[in-house]
Amino acid sequence: MLLRIFGIVFPVFAIVSIGYVYGRLRRPDLSVVNALNMAVLVPALIFGVLSSREFEIGRYGALAFAALAVVLGSGLLAWPVARMTGIAAKTFVPPMMFTNAGNMGLPLAVFAFGEQALPAAVVLLVVENGLHFTLGTWLMDRRAHWLDVLRQPIALATLAGIVFAFGGWGLPRPLMAAIDMLGQASIPLLLFSLGARLTAIDLRDWRPGVLGAIVCPLSGALMVLMLLPWLELSAPQQGMLIMFGALPPAVLNYLVAERYRQEPARVASIVLFGNLGAFIVMPFALVFALR
C-alpha cells in the first residue's frame, strides 16, 4: 500500500516541485499560461469528458450531490472558526469551501484510479467550479450578475458538454481527438503552475495560512464521513469523494479575492499554506480512499 501511495503522489508532487524550483530560479510571469489554461485547456478537458460517448451522466448524480454537500457543509463548519479567530468570513470561508479540484484533484484521480476515473473527477470539478463561479461570486459581491458567470469559458464548456451528454450527440473523431489532446495538456500544466505560485508565500501572515491548512481538509473530511453512510456510491466514487474532501484551497480563491479586494495577501497565505499542507494530508487521505 505504501509503495502504491508513493507511486501516486510522487508524479504529482514532483511536477509541483519542478514548478516551484523553476519559479524560484526564473521568476516567470505565468499569467499568460494560467489564462490559457483557464480559457482553453481546462474547458477542452471538461467538454471532452462530458461530451464523450462513454460518459453516462446518470451514473454521477449521487456523486454530484455529495460534492455539493461537501462544499456547502465545509463553509458552514468554517464560518464559526472565522468568527472565533477574528478573521473576516469573506476572507476565510471561501477557501475552505472551494478546493483544488483542478490543479490537484484531476491529476491525483488519474494517478490513483486510472483514466477511467476522469469522468468522475470532472464531475467533482464541475460542481466545485460551478459553485465557485456562482455562490463564490455572490459571497464577494451581492450585486454580481449571473451573466458574468456564463461568460466564463469553463462554464460555457460545462453547459455545452452537458447538452451533448443529454442529447447523445458526438463530434467527428478527429475533432474530438484534438480536443482531448488539448485537455490532457492541462493536467501537468496545472501542477507546474501551482508549484510556481508557491514561491509567492508570505511568511509574515502565517497564522491564517496554517489555520486554513488544518481546517480545510478537516472540514471536508468531516462532511464526507457524515455523507458516506447515506449515499449509494461505488467503491471508486467513495474513494474519490474522500480525496475530494481532503483537497487544499483552490488558487482561484486568491484571484477572486484580488478582484474584489478582499484581503488578497491573507487569502494568498491561506491558499499557499493549504497547498503546502497537502504534501502531508493527501497521502493519508489516499490510504483511506484506496482501501
pLDDT tens by residue, 181-220:
998 888 888 788 878 877 876 667 789 999 999 999 999 9
Least confident of 107-116, 143-152, 188-197, 277-286: 143-152
Give the 3-state secondary structure of residue 99.
strand
For residue 109, give the amino acid letter: A
Residue 128's pLDDT band, with cuts at 50, 70 and 90, is very high
CB 105 within 8 A of CB 247: yes
d(CA 151, CA 35): 14
- Is it the case that residue 94 has pLDDT exceeding 90? yes
d(CA 137, CA 88): 16
**Range 169-192 average pLDDT:** 88
d(CA 234, CA 193): 33
Neighbouring CB atoms inside 10 A of 164's CB total: 19
Give the closest residue to 185 by CA, choosing from 15, 53, 52. 15
CB 84 within 8 A of CB 196: no
Which class would CATH give 2-289?
mainly alpha
Burial class (CB in 10 A: 0-12, 13-18, 19+), 288: middle
What is the pLDDT at residue 29?
82
**3-state helix vs strand vs coil in the chain, percent to 5:** 85, 0, 15
State what percent of residues in the chain have pLDDT above 70: 96
d(CA 118, CA 104): 13
Angle at 224 between CA 60 and CA 218, to 5 degrees: 140
- pTM exceeds cut of 0.75: yes
Q: Is the dihedral of CA 235, 236, 241, 247 positive or negative?
A: positive
**Range 96-115 average pLDDT:** 89
Neighbouring CB atoms inside 10 A of 168's CB total: 7
d(CA 126, CA 147): 18
d(CA 145, CA 138): 9
What is the pLDDT at residue 77?
97
The residue behind cell 496554517 is 210
The residue behind cell 504529482 is 12
Domains of the chain, residue spans: 2-289
What is the pLDDT at residue 208?
92
